[in-house]
Structure 1
């Protein structure tokens, strides 16, 4: 039976963590200067955790930290492996919660200095390298949780292992985004297996549709087209508030209701059913494929020199 909780798509981050004591726990939330990252950090800190906001824009991070008592800010550019390595090397002591929240969506084609397609490099490579480099800190926490923020857009594409970086096929922004979001889920599938003996749980989630800066590369016309397509299928696309959008991340990061759960994909605060359920629900089989998960992990380790 799929895992359920008393919470749903209308629950907020503060509600799912109410009554949970995170005193003494240390957390990193990437991309926590805007959108659901801010609310994720705020909810964890409100429950007593010492939260580090890891962001590319330090000024924005400082402004956010000023509103979250006891939080700290670290620089992190996920598209730059040197930046990822530097943060991991600066980290001292155990890490109880890692929320891989930052991302870029449907951006025009761009490449890193290594020639990697930027959405894959940021959304997958950056977070993968951060988690792997922080493995020892996570293991030292004796019960750490890693949370990968994916998207229902993972339904759009599996991993094209023959041409991950669009060197031969035509670049399509949503296909690239979907591939990177599938990679987030596959990371959870394989990470759960590899790190179980270290007491580390790894889960992925779809936060739902939330209007944030993440959609800066997506026009209003594109968003309206998505809503129209969903309506044609009999589904109404409701925009969540950022407080609702952060709920599933916070549930997986902190709630005792999901203690020990690992290698799963959640949406609306419950384990997602297999298959594409409308425009925003369910999990595609290609994102849970254990062979693809193992292959992607090995490819990522080799490519990144970890």
Structure 2
């Protein structure tokens, strides 16, 4: 990717999703938010619905999804919030969701994910974090490509993490068949994959008017950290200022997602990585923010795309 002048906005790491979309009119737009029943997914869906979009939250737990949809509708003047089943680690579930979608799709926020979980594999033998965080969203987004192309000016948002700084995609052993399983390295490479997907999809789909960007939402205490020791999380919070990671509430954590999903300030921007509502600077060694060069590498992005196609075709 040819890097140009970094994109800046008047918003900060403390801005909320509602503030970012203040005055933005999304009436007539249709959006999907994966993992929209918990954490920043709820606030992403709420902000988009409040701006007038028809939002579908795609979730594994339909009951939780329905409760969330009702709660969002109650706070957004009855904006339509729909619920549909989606298990990103299940290829059949992803295919069924994509096949059932009818009509254009203007916004897709690939928000769901798992973090630093114990070693687990899908029935195909794929490492669970890579399968869920990357392959599931890859299959979903490519499956919805016709609907995105039909929308004209559609946006895809890939929720990554500063944890991408922990690992590039290790193409020789993505699924930890040869090396010892490390939950953080597995999570890190899945988050790098989220950025590489934005780079390659943005390039491939530019002619369809589809923009694709990735982001780091910030440090937010949500159910995503359910596999982590609470003491570890508190230590990370205490180190936040020194590492450069901004700790936020969920309303602030959803802000960069909705910026990329709907703000006119990033119209036409694609293939980039944002944090705290700004395009990220290159990572400096030892810092917990910025974007790694390997996450924006166009050759790695093209290779990951082909590897993903090949895996899903098996």
TM-score of the two chains, using structure 1 as the length reference: 0.96
- 2:77 counterpart residue number: none
Structure 1 position 176, deviation (Å): 0.2
In structure 2, the residue matched to 1:96 is: 106
More divergent stretch after superposition (214-223 vs 72-81)? 214-223
Residue 122 of structure 1: aligned partner: 132
Residues 9-35 of structure 1 deviation map (CA, whole Å, 9 limit, x = unaligned): 010000000100000000000001010
Aligned CA-pair RMSD: 1.4
Equivalent residue, structure 1, for 2:71: 67
Residue 17 of structure 1 corresponds to: 21
Judged with a 3 Å threshold, the aligned counterparts in structure 2 of structure 1 residues 286 and 237 are, in CA distance, closer, same or farther, namely closer
Q: Whole-Å Cα distance in 2 between the matches of residues 74 and 8 of structure 1?
A: 33
SS in 1 for 2:219: coil
After superposition, the Cα gap between the structure-2 partners of 1:189 and 1:239, relative to the gap in structure 1 and judged at 3 Å, is same
Deviations 1:229-275 (A, max 9, x none): 656xx347552010000000000000000000000000000000011
- Aligned match of 2:190: 180
Q: Is the 8 A contact 2:58 2:83 kept in 1?
A: yes
Structure 2 CA distance, aligned partners of 1:237 and 1:294? 29
Query: What corresponds to 2:251 in structure 1?
Result: 243
The aligned runs of 1:260-299 (5 Å cut-off) are 260-276=268-284, 279-299=287-307
Partner of 2:264: 256
Q: Is the 1:24–1:49 contact (alpha carbons within 8 Å) kept by the matching residues of 2?
A: yes
Structure 2 equivalent of residue 149 of structure 1: 159
Separation (CA, whole Å) in 2 of partners of 1:202 and 1:36 = 19
Report the secondary structure of 1:202's partner residue: strand
Question: Contact 1:207–1:249 at 8 Å: present in 2 too?
Answer: yes
Q: How many residues end up aligned between the 2 structures?
A: 304
| SS of residue matched to 1:190 | helix
TM-score for the superposition, normalised by structure 2: 0.94
2:88 alignment partner in structure 1: 78
* Structure 2: 5+ residue stretches without partners: 74-79
What residue in structure 2 maps to residue 197 of structure 1?
207
Q: Are 1:88 and 1:133, in contact at CA under 8 Å, matched by a contact in 2? A: yes
Distance 2:122 2:115 in 1: 16
Give SS of 1:266's match.
Answer: strand
Q: Does 1:109 align with 2:113?
A: no
Partner-residue secondary structure (3-state), 2:52: coil
Query: What is the rounded CA distance, in whole Å, between the counterparts of 1:287 and 1:243 in structure 2?
Result: 27
Check whether the contact 1:230–1:278 (CA below 8 A) recurs between aligned residues.
no
Within the alignment, does 1:42 sit opposite 2:64 as a pair?
no
Deviates more, 1:221-230 or 1:106-115: 221-230
For the 8 Å contact 2:245–2:289, the answer to whether it is kept is no
Report if the CA contact (8 A) 1:94-1:138 is conserved. yes
CA distance in 2: counterparts of 1:36 and 1:83, whole angstroms: 23
Distance 1:117 1:26 in 2: 32
Partner of 1:52: 56
Counterpart CA distance in 2 for 1:159 and 1:92 is 34
Preserved CA contact (<8 Å) 2:240 2:247: no
The structure 2 residue matched to 1:4, chosen from 4, 8, 16, is 8
